[in-house]
Amino acid sequence: MNKVREIINTGDINRFRFWFQLAAFILLIYGGCLAINIGNQLPTFACVFEEMRGGSCYLMGFQHQTNIPFDKILTGRGIGLLTGLITFFLFFILFNKAWCGYACPLGTLQDWLTSFRKRIHLRYSIYAEQTFQRLQSIKYILLALLILIPLGMNNAIFGLPKLNHDFAVPFCMICPGRTLLPIFTGDFSQLTIDFSSKTKMIFTSLGMMVTGIFLVGSLVKKRFFCLFCPMSAFHYIFSKAALLRLSKKGDKCTKCGNCYRVCDVGIRGIADDITSKNIVKDDCMMCFKCVAACPEEKCLTVHFLGLPIYESTEKGFFKRMLKGKK
């Protein structure tokens, strides 16, 4: 057991993650061809607009189900919403936010763009701390909107008139997953602006804009889109209950900032927060690069059901650092 643990702790998580992401990408994008369907409430962007998918993103179903009149909440439709949420929750607590770091096709796509940027020796950009703080609330606003807009189709919220049917699945309309992921099956049809109604035109134009921003943004900034992702905000509501955890021993931490440096989303708290035991912050995608970059013995630990599965070790750190040294 100790041998296995040592092999894992001294291993190369980035390489493992690359292959895992590739496998997850193939499964979620082409799984349907092999008659695989993992589920329809997945806490990750397995886009519903993509025909060969091996599972479906929950946000689509969620937006459909929140399209519900208030007086119907206590009927079958309410139960449908509830069971959907519970299934999502069960999927989610298994892997916590590692769904983002290891499975999300949109995340993987961004990581591939990052690899491409490294190849062409293009410098990355990072946010100043204040900008980062300011941008952080956007994902929560998007999450609130994707619940409120469908609700507004059946109910007069704040006394506003009910929204028309073109407001269905508003987030999907602007999500770059809808426009980009079908391309991998040769389907370019989502890369269009729908002129059939004013609402649709606005939404699909927004979608095209977001797609452009997504491509340019994630080429210059690691995991650019994740900071704004409402799925990430949704995750964070349940994160504390998850079985997969990342914990930190604050008294072991020297605040050297190695973890912060390698963090693709730029979470400063991973280095400077020495009081939280559970160190999964709302932007975290649980890629565990921080664990690999930490030279302190067992300062950062990945737990599953309380069992340590990957830990920061001095030996592992120096092995990775000195790899290829003559």
Partner 1 sequence: MSADGMQRKQNTIRLHLGMEVKEFFRKITEASPDRPKAMEYFDNFLRRIYCDDAAPASTRPLIGTMCVQVPDELIYAAGAVPYRLCNGSSTYDLCGAEFMPAKSCPVVRATTGMLHAAQINLKEQLAAVIIPTTCDQKKKAGELIASMGYKVHFLEMPSTCATELSRNYWQDSVQEFTLELQKITGQKITPARLKKAIQKIGAAGRAFRQLYNLRQGPLPILSGVDAFLVSNGYFLDDIDNWTAAVEALNNELIERQKKGTTVGNKNAPRFLFTGSPPIFPNFKIPMLVEEAGGVIVTDEACSSTRLLYDAVAYDEEALYDMLPAIADRYLKPCTCPCLTPNENRKRKLLEMIDSFSVDGVIYQAYSGCHPYEMEQMAINDMLAEKKVPMLYVETDFSKEDMGQLTTRVEAFIESIQSRKRRKKI
Contact residues: partner 1, CB under 8 A: 118, 121, 123-124, 128-129, 251-252, 254-258, 260-262, 268, 271-272, 274, 289, 293, 295, 314, 317-318, 321-322, 324-325
Closer by beta carbon to partner 1, 131 or else 192: 131
From the CB of 118, what's the least distance to partner 1, in Å?
6
Closer by beta carbon to partner 1, 1 or else 322: 322
Q: Tell me how far apart the alpha carbons of residues 266 and 292 are, in angstroms, rounded to a whole number.
A: 16
Closer by beta carbon to partner 1, 48 or else 294: 294
Closer by beta carbon to partner 1, 82 or else 122: 122
From the CB of 273, what's the least distance to partner 1, in Å?
13
From the CB of 1, what's the least distance to partner 1, in Å?
22
Q: How far is CA 111 from the centre of its chain?
A: 12
From the CB of 277, what's the least distance to partner 1, in Å?
16
Residue 120, exposed/middle/buried by CB under 10 A (0-12, 13-18, 19+)? exposed
From the CB of 295, what's the least distance to partner 1, in Å?
5
Closer by beta carbon to partner 1, 295 or else 308: 295
From the CB of 283, what's the least distance to partner 1, in Å?
16
What is the chain's alpha carbon radius of gyration, rounded to the nearest angstrom?
Answer: 21
From the CB of 74, what's the least distance to partner 1, in Å?
50
Closer by beta carbon to partner 1, 237 or else 256: 256
Closer by beta carbon to partner 1, 147 or else 262: 262
